[in-house]
Amino acid sequence: MVRIPVSVLVVDDEKDFVEMFSLRLAELGQKVRGAHSGREALEVLKKHDDIDVVVLDIKMPGMDGIETLQEIKKRHPLVEVIMLTGHGTVNTAVEGMKIGAYDYLNKPADFMEITAKLEAARQRKADQEERIRKAEARSLMRRGGELY
Ligand SMILES: [Mg+2]
């Protein structure tokens, strides 16, 4: 089976964490970029339109995870977000899921679980993109006066 890498953006104010987590994901065959703040994450997303999934720390100075999630969903609605929770932030992660996050992961996370969630999130994005493509094609055909 050919595995297509998931294009991931890891966002955390802890630079060591971003570095280690990214290295590990890259070893597992994923395509990884990193950012150390919500603002930086939005800049990376603006520059690179191939990102499938953002792994987003909740507790960050400045724009926190929830604010960043809201901006990501506003600007890039199809990009999936997985919240990253430390101690005592599971409730916030659940709130994040109510406003569009796909799921959450506990820190430190198990890489089997991470890989499974990344692939599932990427799949949801791909399915949604496919539904949109089909709907657009149908809409074009209708405009052409044909029945589908
Ligand atoms: Mg943090």
Asked if 65 contacts 41 with a C-beta cutoff of 8 angstroms, the reply is: no
All residues with CB under 5 Å from ion ligand 1: 13, 57, 59-60
- How far away, in angstroms, is 25 Cα from ligand 1 center? 19
CA–centroid distance, residue 60 to ligand 1 (Å): 4
pTM across the whole model: 0.92
Burial 118-141 (b: 16+ CB within 10 A, else e): bbebbebbeeeeeeeeeeeeeeee
pLDDT at 137 over 80: yes
Distance 36 CA to ligand 1 centre (A): 9
Residue 62 near residue 37 (C-beta atoms within 8 A): yes
User: Is the predicted pLDDT of residue 92 greater than 90, yes or no?
Assistant: yes
Name the fold adopted by 7-143.
Rossmann fold (3.40.50)
So what's the pLDDT on residue 107?
85
Query: What separation in Å is there between the alpha carbon of 54 and the centre of ligand 1?
Result: 15
Residue 5: Cβ-neighbour burial (10 angstroms; 0-12, 13-18, 19+): middle
Task: Label residue 82 by pLDDT band (50, 70, 90).
Answer: very high
Q: Where are the domains of the chain?
A: 7-143
Query: What is the 56 CA–ligand 1 centroid distance (Å)?
Result: 9
